[in-house]
A and B are shown apart, each in its own frame.
Chain A
Amino acid sequence: MTNLTHLTIAEALDALKKKDFTAKELTEAHVKATSEFRHLNAYVTETPEIAVEQAEASDKRRAKGEAGLLEGIPLAIKDLYCTKGVRTTASSKILENFIPTYDSTVSGNLMRDGAIMLGKTSLDEFAMGSSNTTSAYGNVINPWKRSTGDNADLVPGGSSGGSAAIVAARAAMGSTGTDTGGSIRQPASFCGIAGIKPTYGRCSRWGIIAFASSLDQAGPFARTVEDCAIMLQSMSGYDPKDSTSANQPVPDFRAALSGSIKGLRVGIPKEYNVDGLPAEIAKLWEQGKDWLRSEGAEIIDVSLPHSKYALPVYYILAPAECSSNLARYDGVRYGLRVEGKDLTETYEKTRAQGFGNEVKRRIMIGTYVLSAGYYDAYYTKAQKIRRLIAEDFAKAYEKCDVLLSPTAPSAAFAIGENEDDPVKMYLNDVFTIPASLAGLPGMSVPAGMSSDGLPLGLQIIGKPWDEATVLRVGHVIEKAAAITALPAMLMKKAA
């Protein structure tokens, strides 16, 4: 039998249809792979029994001719999505024993369409981080190692690090992430897989633990652009339970891949050519332009003049929203409680012991910028610049159809690097945050390898609601790059 864990979702769906193997066999192969890659610490909670049970049910549905869009496909779910009866922690100690009594809309959509849940993946605590080193359940390790032989454990990126690492390790066919400032795109780039953050409002946020509500969006990770398209199809759609869910038609994303990009205008934001951009990343960006040009696209220089302010704006707005959202963790209705001598002390101790350092730091920033006397200088000012950033994109899109940039300013770094200086860590998201602030769809596609053998991604940013074009351009880059490299630990396994 073929190596079931190396198939794409599209290939597995075809094979399941032809009865080459059952969903149970496919799932068991992934459950086995999950146990072999436990050292990556990608999961907070594995759910092998649920997976096998769901796979048996899936095989029955298929036999009755009731196969859904993702029938029998084993996926990993970020531990930020509430899952009925399965512990959901947000990688925080404060939710260590939280067992939701409902499913998030998006994970529910995937299960409705026949997907199988392998487990709940680790993330930066409450999705706050770019390295997956802020989880209360330990660091997640990237399956890739530098080819220089230093053998250092590398970060998978964050915040959706567990979701990205486990798909790169071929132990899940796809996974869900959330992206607030780059939390899907940057880990996809670091782990050598594809990931898309759709337009804000495309996927329901209902039942996904909130970080910064005006920015948070759900999206898929998979090893191919086509697989991302299939997953996004299932995850998208209007949900009356989320007041920011958009009642927009959802196009056939998979069908959109087959179109041509002849005549498509691809914008290159000149401000993304930042000081200190490593030469190999600049070169990859050039390569990306050439690939698109040779498929008939027109490359156009555009300007997004307020780009450099996107990071400071984000680090006002996201913490402000986080400090409001996380006010709910008070030790009364759910989550950890640490008793104090009175109610105030109970709150203060519960939150001090339940939250980790990065979360506390952001709550402090957010509380400060929302406090009397500072609100206008910081919060309102940031909201105004956010409008200017969004307008920059709207102006650029008068001249072009999509934008192309690197996904991140570096390949995966070693665990512990960038830890001492929060600002340096925040700079990881310099290319992803502007599109988040503007609510635009963005995708990272594996496009090359660094000189030390690590994957590098290119980012495609689209117009609002135009994930179809983003996916189509991503598909062209993926085909042109034709990357076949695998993490060394997988080659060893195969040998």
Chain B
Amino acid sequence: MDKATVKKVATLARLHVTEEEQEKYAAQLGGIFKWIEQMSEVNTDNVKPLSSVIDLPTPLRKDEVTDGGIQDDILANAPEAVEGFFVVPKVVE
């Protein structure tokens, strides 16, 4: 794994990564992926990917409001909130 890949992945993950960290991640992640490569030894032809270990049907419920009216709770931990809204940096010029 090279620095350019690390930089691209960091952008996708919205993580600011310094030049020095790019170097470090390239080495560490390279080592981890080398170790992970052993997965290729396993023949997985005709094997279905497993995403949930519990073999139970997805529960269905009525589509109705069961909760709400908790605007203050929702905003209680916001870094910045004004008049019932979350405040973010300006995104439209």
Contact = CB atoms under 8 A, between A and B. Distances in A.
Interface of A: 97-99, 101-102, 199-201, 214, 240, 243-244, 246-247, 306, 308-309, 312-313, 315-316, 323, 327, 330-337, 339-340, 342-349, 351-352, 355, 360-361, 363-365, 367-368, 371, 378, 380-388, 390, 421-423, 437-439, 464
Interface in B26-48: 28-29, 31-32, 35-36, 38-42, 44, 47-48
A395 to B, nearest CB: 15
Interface string B74-93: 10111110000010111100
Interface of B: 5-6, 9-10, 12-17, 25, 28-29, 31-32, 35-36, 38-42, 44, 47-54, 56, 58-59, 61, 70, 73-74, 76-80, 86, 88-91
Contacts of A340: 89
Contacts of B42: 306, 309, 384-385, 388
Contact of B16 (A244, A323, A349): A349
A442 to B, nearest CB: 13
Interchain residue pairs A-B with the least CB separation, the first 10: A439-B53, A383-B49, A334-B77, A337-B79, A387-B50, A352-B16, A384-B44, A101-B73, A348-B16, A367-B13
Nearest to A238: B59
Contact of B79 (A201, A335, A342, A349): A335
Nearest to B72: A101
Nearest to A306: B42
A372 B67 CA distance: 38
Contacts of A200: 53-54
A22 B72 CA distance: 38
Nearest to B87: A332
B29 A361 contact: yes
Contacts of A348: 14-16
Contacts of B77: 97-99, 101, 333-335
B62 to A, nearest CB: 11
A384 B13 contact: no
B31 A422 contact: yes
B32 A365 contact: yes
Contacts of B32: 315, 365, 422-423
A240 B79 contact: no
Nearest to A344: B14
B23 to A, nearest CB: 13
30 contacts: A99-B76, A101-B77, A201-B54, A214-B53, A240-B61, A246-B54, A309-B39, A312-B35, A316-B39, A333-B77, A333-B78, A337-B79, A337-B80, A345-B16, A348-B14, A348-B15, A352-B17, A364-B10, A364-B13, A368-B9, A371-B9, A371-B12, A381-B39, A384-B42, A386-B50, A387-B47, A387-B50, A388-B44, A390-B53, A438-B53
B13 A343 contact: no
Nearest to A248: B56
Given A343-B88, A352-B16, A364-B15, A387 B48 contact: yes
A199 B56 CA distance: 13
Nearest to B11: A348
Contacts of A422: 28, 31-32
Given A312-B38, A313-B39, A244 B54 contact: yes
A201 B56 CA distance: 10
A318 B54 CA distance: 17
A383 B73 contact: no
Given A240-B59, A422-B32, A331 B52 contact: no
Contacts of B12: 367, 371
